[in-house]
């Protein structure tokens, strides 16, 4: 009779342990699901913020400014290259202007040959001093 009672208690203990293990697994699944939902919410908030920024005037101003800086760099690089390729052309009248509403015709003196051409600016300076 004791053996029957011991078997019954062992079965109840195993069942209790199985319930505890299943509950722990369910808790881990709920935690993982909660973390996934948090990540999803954060990603949606970031995307919304990016979309709002792209629609703003500030974004447009920054893109315009960046494009203008890049354009000016390209303009100056082109001017140096033209001066190097065509040393007799006077490029002193070519100036970069930020204003889009101001369009002027090129001056007639632009193509007048000159004795002095714009020398390209060196990117790296060469020194004769020893490096210590």
Q: Give the count of beta carbons closer than 10 Å to the beta carbon of residue 83.
A: 19
C-alpha distance across the termini of the chain, in Å: 97
Residue with tokens 């004791």: 2
Identify whether the C-beta of residue 89 lies closer than 8 Å to the C-beta of residue 129: no
Q: At 109, is the pLDDT very low, low, confident or very high (cuts 50, 70, 90)?
A: very low
pTM higher than 0.75: no
Which tens digit of pLDDT belongs to each residue from 13-67?
999 999 999 999 999 999 999 999 999 999 999 999 999 988 888 888 888 888 8
């Amino acid at each position: 009779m004791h053996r029957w009672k011991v078997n019954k208690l062992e079965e109840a203990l195993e069942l209790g342990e199985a319930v505890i293990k299943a509950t722990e697994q369910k808790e881990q699944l709920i935690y993982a699901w909660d973390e996934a939902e948090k990540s999803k919410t954060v990603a949606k908030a970031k995307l919304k913020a990016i979309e709002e920024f792209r629609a703003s005037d500030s974004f447009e101003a920054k893109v315009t400014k960046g494009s203008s800086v890049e354009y000016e760099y390209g303009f100056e690089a082109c001017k140096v290259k033209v001066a190097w390729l065509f040393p007799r052309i006077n490029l002193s009248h070519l100036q970069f202007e930020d204003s889009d509403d101001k369009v002027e015709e090129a001056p007639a003196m632009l193509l007048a040959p000159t004795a002095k051409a714009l020398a390209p600016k060196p990117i790296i300076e060469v020194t004769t001093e020893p490096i210590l």
